[in-house]
Every structure is written in structure tokens, then in C-alpha cells.
Amino acid sequence: MAEELYPGLYRILVPLPNSPLKSLNSYVVKGNSRNLVIDTGLNRDVCKKALSEGLAEIGVGLDTVDLFITHLHADHFGLVNELAGENTRIYFNRPDSEIIENPRGLEPMIKYGGRNGFPEDMLREALNQHPAHKYGSNWSPSLSMINDRDRLKVGDYDFICIQTPGHTPGHTCLYEPEKGIFIAGDHVLYDITPNIQCWSDNTNPLGDYLKSLDRVRDLEVKLALPGHRNLFSDFRDRIDTLKRHHANRLEEVEAILAKSSPMHAFDVASRMTWDLTAKSWEDFPTQQKWFATGEAIAHLRYLEMKNRVRRAENEPGILYGLA
């Protein structure tokens, strides 16, 4: 079912079965000769059916559709191969495309997880069961690269592409300044907190994310259209809330290290508070341990870059303690 938000701009709810996210907000902007679909859902029949039916309801044929994908995650990118035709333009960002094209795949993440205390066999299990592995795109189609501040005009809408790294290295939002519309992807969510993970010594995704929040905070936004859950209008307040959330997380990590250190990130994650119904860390689903550990590493890396924590020397793995 398609919901008209503004003249010529619609939301289609694409179900994400067995996911705590519940559904994806796919947005459709009607143009003159070409129409734009923003994010697609997983490569699953149920997702394709919902999106196809929504497009048909508003009179948009697949042969008239171009795609804008905010970032590489499978719930946004996965259905691209089923939707793209001979004339489809797929707008995407360069940093995320380089991850997709990396021939080494997930091995660097698995090895880095092992150095951070995550048992490698357990991490492989989590990755093999993850929707990105099971329901991702079967191939990488030709992509039209968009850069920060590029303009994308569709019908009555003139969007500015704003790169907002953090959730992924190249995550990109769309801002329509005249109408005050901000298509947020997973950069700013209202009901849940975007997942910020780190699996490399060469990155500082939480630092990138906080800078990206600051970058968009002062935009004049009347309505934010996120990738999941509810639309919202209190854009700056939500950004401030997200920044406080991470400030509290950083304090929590430091408090954990103050009680017992040095520690692997996997052990730090086991002591952090999580909004899950599991009774203990041992009861956490393996995939949730992966998300939690990635978040713990992101916060530890940020603190390390700020010289608030340090690594233990002469250790085979990565162990953190207070600086």
C-alpha cells in the first residue's frame, strides 16, 4: 500500500520478516518521464511483492523507475537486482561501493573480531545467518556514482545529496531545501538508534557519525523521512537525543573499564546495557552479539582516538584499558 506524503512523493512499507526493524520505508518520487525509488528492501519475494504492488497502485511501472540507494545494507540494497532493468539508473555512493567490490569479502572482519575477543567460529555463524548473506543482491549492477552536494531533480523535487558517513562509510541522505524534506536513510531514526559498528583499525565510525549529525543539524527540516519506523518533524531535538545517547554510552564504556581492565571489546559488550529481552549475555542471539560487539568497538575506537582509553601492549589480541 502506498501512502502519499506530499504531491508526487509516496511511502511504501516493505516488510522485513523476522527482523526487529519490522519494515523498510521505501520512498517513491514521481517525475515526468522517469520516477525515483529510494531504497528497496531485501531480496525476498515478500519485499518485491509489496514494492511492486505499491508502485502499481500509484501508476508507476518498473520500466520507468530509477533507484537511489542510501547505503549498502541488504534491507536497503538487496532488491536492486530484481528491480533494475536495461534503462535503470542506480544512484549510489563510492565508499560503500568499494566495500561491495572488495574481493576479500568478510574475512578481514572475522579476523578483526577474533582479535577483539569474538570467537571466530561464532562470528562466522552470525554472518552466515545474517540477512545480508541470505537476502542480499545476487550481483552488483552498474552503478551511477553520486557525490556529496550533487543535485538530483525528479518532478517537482530538487534534492541535494548529503553524504553522512557513520552507519556506513558512504551513507547518503537527500535534502529538499525548498520543501524542508530530509530523506534520512538510517542516519537519523526516531524510534530506534542507528547501529554504529567498527571492524577495522583504519576507521572511526562513531567519530564520523557524530560529525555527520552536526553537519545536518542546522538544516531547515519540516519533515524527516527515515528508513525505518515513524516519520518525524522534531529533527534537531532527535539529533540532540542521539548525541546524548552516545555520550552516555561512552561514559558507560569508561565505567566498565574502570572496574576491570584491560578487556577485549567482546567482554566490554557483554557488560553494556542493551534493549533486549535476553536474561544474560549467554542468552543473546549470536547476531545480536555481533551487533553489540561492533558497537562496543566503535565506542572504544572513539575513546582511543580521544586518548581516553589505551591498548595493552605486548598482547596477541586487542585489549583496552583506561588511559
Tens-digit pLDDT profile for residues 255-277: 999 998 899 999 999 999 998 77
Q: Is 291 found in the same domain as 144?
A: no
Segments forming the whole domain that contains residue 199: 2-104+134-241
Q: Are residues 125 and 138 in the same domain?
A: no
Residue 248 lies in a domain: no
AA identity, residue 313: E
pLDDT of residue 276: 76
Residue 249 placed within a domain: no
Q: Are residue 155 and residue 286 in the same domain, yes or no?
A: no
| Domain count for the chain | 2
Q: Are 65 and 97 in contact (CB under 8 A)?
A: no
Q: Report the pLDDT value the prediction gives residue 129, as an integer from 0 to 100.
A: 76
Task: Supply the pTM of this predicted model.
Answer: 0.96
The answer to the question of residue 247 being in a domain is no
What pLDDT does residue 139 have? 64
Q: Do 229 and 293 fall into the same domain?
A: no
Mean pLDDT by 10 residues, the chain (323 residues): 97 94 97 97 96 98 97 95 94 94 82 96 84 70 94 98 98 98 98 96 97 98 98 98 98 96 95 88 91 97 97 90 95
pLDDT score at 132:
67
* Ranges of H-type helices in 130-234: 131-134, 205-217
- The reply to whether 222 and 145 lie within a common domain is yes
In terms of domains, do 154 and 292 share one? no
Domain termination site, one of 191, 208, 241: 241
Q: Which string of DSSP letters, residue by residue, matches 143-190? A: -EEE-TT-EEEETTEEEEEEE--SSSTT-EEEEETTTTEEEEETSS-S
Q: What per-residue confidence (pLDDT) applies to 133? A: 67
pLDDT digits (tens, 9 = 90+) for 190-218: 999 999 999 999 999 999 999 999 999 99
Please indicate, yes or no, whether residues 169 and 237 belong to a single structural domain of this protein. Answer: yes
**Cell numbers found for residue 173:** 541522505
214 inside domain: yes
In a domain, 202, yes or no: yes
Domain CATH code at residue 89: 3.60.15.10
